[in-house]
């Protein structure tokens, strides 16, 4: 188990990810009064600050989530990923008092808070960059001192290299010790103010060796802090090992989920789950079917009815699940490769949940059911998942507690007892074919193999979720038989 014999709080975490600049309506900018759409102006959130999130915290708790995974909220020029001051809340989102009020309100409800740290690159207004490019301390502004900044040019790579062709994003030189000192100071500053961890933006572009000494120093003061790196590509496990970060974003699984459903090719998903199994044995991945950088799952899927199947996989396998705000209401939105192409997936939210349209309620209730299943079976964070049945359009998965996971800490929390021999089990049956699919008794046969008991014992104590499980499934039903066309079900025991 990645964290030794005991459980850490990330093992129980389920995130509600929010892009605050979009949520509050602060970005993209809105047209000035009386002006056309072609003349947008920067607006300070139109009076909406980070406290706008507070009326939504009970909604987050009722959904079943345990924390807020917040997008960038430090002072920046535009979308937040062009940071210019890491110690100031973006004025469009209010003040540090607003931030403190939000963190306090989250704490009162038992919600964790993780911030987005953009430590690969900076915006053009970042004080050391202004100093380095101008050659004089006066240009740094914001109280910068040339004696503190020193040779500012060393903070950056030769020629002020930019990030992935974005001219406004200048890459930091991670071989420069002062950059490491600065990142350590920023992380510690906000952890001291009550947050619980950091999402490391564009971690895939940062040398993994950079993080090891930085995180070692941060953990001296905050040993329970959690760090998740954005890894769109690369060798996940090797990066985690060398960097000492706790987790990475599991883009491989995200892609396989929607792609296999669209193409009717569960072989792709089975292959991704095999790799996911290897990752999960070594660290706790951040799993998702949507985030602030991708087309929403309800739009990505060719058949919107497959959203349930995507969620079934997300919540039935190992990892720390994250739900992108609005996905739980079946929001739609397409990411486009153009300027402003993220706007549709980073929307403004209403003042309170009461203002949501009613047509997303079914998807919300489904999220609640699946998250509740996850809560009753907290061992799923480190589950071992096997493929029991596999065709292009039919898939049976069985997840069980991983050997070596602290059974007393994990299973005891859900009222179960024992370790992997306890019989705890989650079975997911998915059929995206045009005809019903008979899974036979493969799932129950597998469950019987867990305990070494007779099949009759394996048949008892099951509860079901999903259309194939039927409404109000009674205890004792089993994950066997025919799953209708384009349908799915999850059964749990233990």
Tokens 């790799």 found at: 275
pLDDT of residue 417: 35
The ranges of the chain annotated as CATH 3.20.20.80 are 9-379
At 290 the three-state DSSP class reads coil
Q: What is the pTM of this model?
A: 0.89
Residue by residue, pLDDT tens for the chain (494 residues) are: 444 446 799 999 999 999 999 999 998 765 444 444 333 334 444 568 999 999 999 999 999 999 999 999 999 999 999 999 999 999 999 999 999 999 999 999 999 999 999 999 999 999 999 999 886 555 545 544 544 445 899 999 999 999 988 889 999 999 999 999 999 999 999 999 999 999 999 999 999 999 999 999 999 999 999 999 999 999 999 999 999 999 999 999 999 999 999 999 999 999 999 999 999 999 999 999 999 999 999 999 999 999 999 999 999 999 999 999 999 999 999 999 888 888 898 999 999 999 999 999 999 999 999 999 999 999 999 999 999 999 999 999 999 999 866 433 443 333 333 334 467 999 999 999 999 999 887 655 555 443 333 333 445 577 889 998 863 334 445 566 789 999 999 999 87
CATH of segment(s) 383-493? 2.60.40
**From CA 334, how far away is CA 345, in angstroms rounded?**
6
pLDDT of residue 11: 95
At 59 the three-state DSSP class reads helix
Handedness of CA 122, 127, 130, 135 (dihedral sign): negative
pLDDT of residue 472: 37
Which residues share a beta bridge with 75? 85
**What are the C-alpha distances in Å from 234 to residues 107, 281, 349, 421?**
35, 18, 34, 36
The ranges of the chain annotated as CATH 2.60.40 are 383-493
Concatenated DSSP letters for 225-239?
-EEEE--SSS-HHHH
Distance in angstroms between the alpha carbons of the first and the last residue of the chain:
21
Q: 275, 269, 297, 280: which is closest to 395 by C-alpha?
A: 269
pLDDT of residue 469: 83
Domain 9-379 has CATH 3.40.50.2300: no
CA 333 from chain centre, in angstroms, equals 18
């Amino acid at each position: 188990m990645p964290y030794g014999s005991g459980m850490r709080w990330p093992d129980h975490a389920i995130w509600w990810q929010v892009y605050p600049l979009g949520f509050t309506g602060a970005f993209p900018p809105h047209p000035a009064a009386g002006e056309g759409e072609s003349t947008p102006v920067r607006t300070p959130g139109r009076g909406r600050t980070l406290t706008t999130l507070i009326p939504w915290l009970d909604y987050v708790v009722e959904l079943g989530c345990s924390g807020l995974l917040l997008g960038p909220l430090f002072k920046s020029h535009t979308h937040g990923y062009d940071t210019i001051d890491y110690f100031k809340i973006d004025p469009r989102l209010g003040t540090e008092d607003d931030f403190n009020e939000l963190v306090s309100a989250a704490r009162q409800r038992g919600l964790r808070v993780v911030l987005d740290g953009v430590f690969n690159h900076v915006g053009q207004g970042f004080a050391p960059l202004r100093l380095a490019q101008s050659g004089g301390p006066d240009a740094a502004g914001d109280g910068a001192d040339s004696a503190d900044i020193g040779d500012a040019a060393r903070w950056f790579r030769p020629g002020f290299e930019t990030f992935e062709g974005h001219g406004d994003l200048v890459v930091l030189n991670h071989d420069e010790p002062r950059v490491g000192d600065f990142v350590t100071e920023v992380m510690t500053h906000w952890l001291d103010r009550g947050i619980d961890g950091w999402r490391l933006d564009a971690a895939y572009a940062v040398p993994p060796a950079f993080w090891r000494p930085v995180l070692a120093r941060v953990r001296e003061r905050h040993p329970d802090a959690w760090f998740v790196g954005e890894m769109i590509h690369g060798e996940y496990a090797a990066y985690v090992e060398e960097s000492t970060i706790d987790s990475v974003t599991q883009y491989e699984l995200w892609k396989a989920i929607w792609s296999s459903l669209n193409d009717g090719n569960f072989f792709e998903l089975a292959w991704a789950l095999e790799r996911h199994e290897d990752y999960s044995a070594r660290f706790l991945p951040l799993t998702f079917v949507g985030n602030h950088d991708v087309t929403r799952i309800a739009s990505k899927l060719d058949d919107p009815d497959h959203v349930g199947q995507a969620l079934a996989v997300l919540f039935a396998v190992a990892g720390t699940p994250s739900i992108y705000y609005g996905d739980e209401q079946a929001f739609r939105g397409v990411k486009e490769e153009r300027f402003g192409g993220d706007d549709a997936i980073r929307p403004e939210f209403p003042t309170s949940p009461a203002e949501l349209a009613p047509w997303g309620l079914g998807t919300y209730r489904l999220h609640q059911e699946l998250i509740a299943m996850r809560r009753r079976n907290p061992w799923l964070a480190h589950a071992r998942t096997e493929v029991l049945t596999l065709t292009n359009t039919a898939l049976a998965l069985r997840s069980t507690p991983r050997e070596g996971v602290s059974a007393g800490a994990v299973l005891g929390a859900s009222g179960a007892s024992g370790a992997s021999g306890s019989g705890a089990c989650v079975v997911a049956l998915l059929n995206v074919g045009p005809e019903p699919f008979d899974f036979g008794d493969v799932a129950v046969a597998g469950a019987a193999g867990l305990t070494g008991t007779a099949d009759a014992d394996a048949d008892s104590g099951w509860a079901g979720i999903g259309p194939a499980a039927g409404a109000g499934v009674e205890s004792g039903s089993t994950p066997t038989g025919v799953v209708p066309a384009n349908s799915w079900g999850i059964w749990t025991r233990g």
